Structure 1
Amino acid sequence: MSSNPFLGTWQLRSGEFGEHGQPVTPYDMSRLQSRKVISQQGFSFLTLQDGKFYSAASGSYRFDEADYVETPAMTTWPVPEGQQYTFRYEFIDGLWHNKRTENGVQVEHEIWEKVAD
């Protein structure tokens, strides 16, 4: 892929998440805010819940025609060294949709909107 469609600042619009055998549940977007900044060198994100700090991470990423892969270097939760998160992605009407599965089961689906280049 010759250009990088991920560069810029992204605002989380909606999502759902579940892990460790728990059902996938929608994010409560009335309580949650998240921004992700992606540069040529890496990514970082910050999430607030009820206006207070909730989580953050930064690290490197790579992508191809189907997958966007983050390798966190610093996080506010325990992550094994070298852990990668692989998302299937697509852009629909200017929105970035990504889905992550574990053992063939969808555990995460997020929709991001670019708010700055």
Structure 2
Amino acid sequence: MVGEIPEDKRQLVTGHESLGYFAARYGFSLTGAVIPGLSSESESAAGDLSALKEKIVEQQVNVIFTELGTDRDVVDALATDAGVTVVELSTHLLPTDGSYRSFLIDLASTIVNALKS
């Protein structure tokens, strides 16, 4: 599934840095996070967001992935400024069968489909 995305396009911009293990395990790189750190309680400084926007544009990232707890107003403003779309990931709930395997498949599928668009 991940092989459908060229390696140079396997870049993730996320709401916060919670997908580091997933990225490392499945061949993605974390280009940046709207909220630096793992806590959704943190805030982004204007300078950090400006630098992230520049990285998004320079590296031709086309999606920001958000999660529950990410300030959607900040993400939407950044996405508009950078000319990218926003995709919300369901990282806080297991699928109906309750398996971690299904969770990872659903997560990877959502990410791959968004990056292919």
**Does TM-score exceed 0.5, indicating one fold?**
no
Choose between structure 1 and 2: higher helix proportion.
2
Question: TM-score if structure 1 supplies the norm length?
Answer: 0.28
Structure 1 or 2: more strand by fraction: 1
